[in-house]
Structure 1
Amino acid sequence: MGLDLDDTKRSIVIVDNAIIVPPPRGMGGNNNRFQSSGVLTAEGEMVENSITWGEGRQVNLAPEMPDPATIEHLPGQHMFGGMLFGHFGHFLVESTTRLWALDELRPAIQSIVYTPKINARPMQFVRQFRPLFNVLGATVPIRSTPVPLRVDRLFVPRQGFGQFELMRGSEAFRSYMRRFAGRTVPAKGAEKIYISRSGLARDRGGIIGEWLLEEQLKAEGFEIYHPQNHPLLDQVAQYKAAKMIVACDCSPLHLVGFVGNAEQKVAIIKRRSMDLIPHFVDQLRLFQNIDAFEVDVLVEDWLPYPDKRPGRRSCGEISFARLGAALAEKGMISGRTTWRDISDAEREDERERLRVLHDGTPFHRMLNREKYLAGQQEGTVRGDNKFA
């Protein structure tokens, strides 16, 4: 069971006297990936359009009808926005998914109502992401409710975007983003950027010896760009201005997909043995016709003990020499200088740096990597979007 993004039979449903049910107080986050929340009819039936899908599974389960004494009344007409995440990447992929319906509903609604992913200080994330809502054309009032609400009339759009295979988006969602995302922000910034992970906090994962990659890219005229050090509007301006972007799989690429253009080339470096990048390529190509491609020059996965498979915290050792050749073939660097890989001594220095950064936790090569890769690759089709 899954979600057909382009099934328009129930694109927007209207529910009178709808009950919006948030998760219980304190629930949500990584330890509560699947929660009870969503929209119920007045009779207590789950409204199918209020289901959020992710990783091929239903994220929010049908809640029970709340105690009438706990339900507050929200008069007027409003739109259901889905689940509001506090993580930047999850916000872009999972909290923007129904904004496409503003095309039709903007004049009719008084606000967009979300259920919080974590039911603690829910309005904090509304304030945090208010500038991003504005950039994406959602200039109407936004709220995230910690208590059940009875809404006079609620418009519930279907999800039009999401994680992994859902990153291609529905045609309605793609069309909305092309017309509204970043429209009010003028392009400004360097023409060639590398979206770096070297300044991120621990446990975010990255590339072994990223400093050397940055040195070799700077020699080719790339600016090393740390998004977390720039205001949101400046990030949007930079992503609109860049002609060439090099990055690993990362949250900022979703924003590039929303505000970018067909004049851009985007090289996405595989930093871990996971089949994520084809979905990023799909988003960038289908949303903005960007020339996006995967560069798979991954040599080893380095994992913090006791992890046994790649994930959020893993670091990838890649061949910079092969990466340089792939970028030269695509015309993103000159290719006049052959890039070098890290030395054995530099590799050991990186292992020690990671150990210290993680309070003494050692990093090790992934065991049974070949077996893991065989399972990952089974049945996948790469097409022409990959350089190896």
Structure 2
Amino acid sequence: MHLDLDDTKQNIVIVDNAIIVPPPRERGSNNRFQASGVLTAEGEMVENSITWGEGRQINVAPEMPDPDTIEHLPGQHMFGGIMFGHFGHFLVESTTRLWGLEELRPAIESIAYTPKINARPMQFVRQFRPLFNVLGATVPVRSTPVPLRVDRLFVPRQGFGQFELMRGSEAFRAYMRRHAGRRIPAQGAEKIYISRSGLQRDRGGLIGEWLLEQQLQQEGYEIYHPQNHPLVDQVAQYKAAKQIVAVDCSPLHLVGFVGNSEQKVAIIKRRSMELVPYFVDQLRLFQDIDAFEVDVLVDEWLPHPDKRPGRRSCGEISFSRLHEALVERGMASGQQPWRDLSDAERADERERLRVLHEGTKFFRMANRERFIERQKSGTVRGANKFS
């Protein structure tokens, strides 16, 4: 079974005396595929409270909680799904029911989430409060560590998600077009490269990104580090940019929410995972952005003991071929050809990675072609895509 966002059953279920059940608090519990969600007063799982991701059901039906552990939440509220603490997972998996606010905003007192990890759940609510506001979800938000009995709970169906779900439902796309970043004026450079060079060491990226940045700057691009800017400024910049170059990364989801049809977005493939086409779909379907994939991946370098690409892997791309692709799409002048890394620079990059990762060796991905073929055949999914 899977979630079909184009299904005509896109709806909002109303549950009286609903029980919102968070995941277990015990250490070692599976927080990725967890027992949590919404139960009816009779203990039946409400189907609309299921969150889907990676082609699988993320939350499974929990048991009816001990009545002594259930707290009462009076009034009318909306179920928001699972509250993730990671920026990328939040954008793709915790915003999925906000489309319901279009109809429910006047009727509800808050949005209630179950936490991904049942420890200090309100910490993430505070962390993402500015993002809720940017996305038009200005109502109060809670993430409950204990079971709640809600007088009346509205449960919208999921309208967005990972991989093929990044296309979004019609209702979700319409909501984002009307509300995301609406009150933030566009401001910033017209040409930006969304850089990863300033991220934490385990985030992965591109080999020799410094050389790519130098060559993009010569073409008039500003090197943009989102993590160094307040969220409102990020949205202003993404609305202002006419040309954006980036690898597959979480900020592109925000571009998809707040961007516009006058933009061109080149998405560089940085690892052997079939992710970029989903980003392209999101940007095109949400905002009619001229988005396209640039696959000039030459090699992949993985830290020991990783066996396949993930958030820590580093891609080696051909900068000269990337330049040719940008020139063809009118995003570079073509006056000065770009160069690729020399053998000495490549060796220096490997040593830099080894030191950065405290002695961890990086090695070329083994069986890379086999992995790519298995992905195409559908027998394997990529590793965690957010970073």
Q: Normalising to structure 1: TM-score of the pair?
A: 0.96
Partner residue in 1 for 2:186: 187
Q: Which residue in 2 is equivalent to 1:363?
A: 362
Corresponding residue number in structure 1 for 2:23: 23
- What letter matches 1:45 in structure 2? E
1:162 aligns to what SS in structure 2?
A: coil
Partner Cα distance (1:109, 1:334) in 2: 53
| 1:49 maps to 2:48 | yes
How far the C-alpha of 1:327 sits from its partner, in A, is 0.3
**C-alpha displacement at 1:376, in angstroms?**
2.2
SS of residue in 2 equivalent to 1:153: strand
For residues 296 and 288 of structure 1, do their structure 2 counterparts lie closer, same or farther at Cα, with a shift above 3 Å needed?
same
**TM-score (norm: length of structure 2):** 0.96
Paired with 2:252 and 2:28, the residues of 1 have a C-alpha distance of 25
Superposition deviation, residue 180 in structure 1: 0.3
Measured at CA, do residues 302 and 282 of structure 1 come closer, stay the same or move farther in structure 2, by a change above 3 Å? same
Query: 1:72 touches 1:149 (CA, 8 Å); kept in 2?
Result: yes
Rounded to whole Å, the distance in 1 between the matches of 2:63 and 2:16 is: 18
- Pairing 1:218–2:214 present: no
Amino acid of the structure 2 residue aligned with 1:77: Q
Give RMSD over aligned pairs: 1.3
2:266 aligns with 267
8 Å contact from structure 1 (residues 27, 118) kept in 2:
no
The one-letter code sitting in structure 1 at the alignment partner of 2:22 is P
- Alpha-carbon distance in 2 for matches of 1:369, 1:266: 27
Q: Distance in 2 between matches of 1:204 and 1:59?
A: 24
What SS is found at the alignment partner of 1:294?
A: strand
The aligned amino acid for 2:320 is: A
Please state if 1:234 is matched with 2:226. no
Does the 8 Å CA contact 2:36/2:61 hold for their aligned counterparts?
Answer: yes
Distance 1:187 1:28, change over 3 A: farther
Question: Is contact 1:28–1:35 with CA below 8 Å preserved after alignment?
Answer: no
Partner of 1:117: 116
1:328 alignment counterpart: 327
Find the aligned partners of 2:284 and 2:14 in 1 and give their Cα distance.
Answer: 33
CA gap of 1:96–1:191, structure 2 versus 1, over 3 A, is same
The AA in structure 2 aligned to 1:241 is A
| Residues 187 and 237 in structure 2, CA contact (< 8 A), matched pair in contact too | yes
Q: Which residue of 2 aligns with 1:383?
A: none
Secondary structure of 1:108 counterpart: coil
Gaps of 5+ in 1: 381-388
- Sequence identity (%): 84
How far apart in 2 are the matches of 1:10 and 1:323? 41
Is the Cα–Cα contact under 8 Å of residues 28 and 118 in structure 1 kept in the other structure? no
Instruction: Identify if the C-alpha distance between structure 1 residues 333 and 10 changes in structure 2 by more than 3 Å, giving closer, same or farther.
Output: closer
Indicate whether 1:161 and 2:177 are aligned.
Answer: no
CA distance in 1, matches of 2:10, 2:196: 41
Mark the runs of 5 or more structure 2 residues left unpaired by the alignment. 380-387
Go from structure 1 to structure 2 and tell me whether the alpha carbon gap of 1:102 and 1:140 turns closer, same or farther (over 3 Å shift): same
Q: Is the 8 A contact 2:243 2:265 kept in 1?
A: yes
Maintained 8 Å contact 2:23/2:31? no
How is 1:171-320 mapped onto 2 (pairs within 5 angstroms)?
171-320=170-319
* Separation (CA, whole Å) in 1 of partners of 2:9 and 2:375: 34
TM-superposed deviation, 1:9: 2.4
Determine if contact 1:28/1:117 at 8 Å carries over to the other structure.
Answer: no
Greater mean alpha carbon deviation, residues 141-150 or residues 20-29: 20-29
Amino acid at match of 2:200: A
Shift of 1:378: 3.6
Aligned length: 379
- d(CA) in 2 for partners of 1:269, 1:180: 29
Query: What letter matches 1:37 in structure 2?
Result: S
SS at match of 1:199: coil
Post-superposition offset of 1:28: 8.2
Q: Which runs of 4+ in 1 moved over 6 A?
A: none
Structure 2 contact 191–220 (Cα < 8 Å) conserved = yes
**Aligned mates of 2:139, 2:28 — CA distance in 1:** 26
Give distance in 2, aligned partners of 1:265 and 1:112: 35
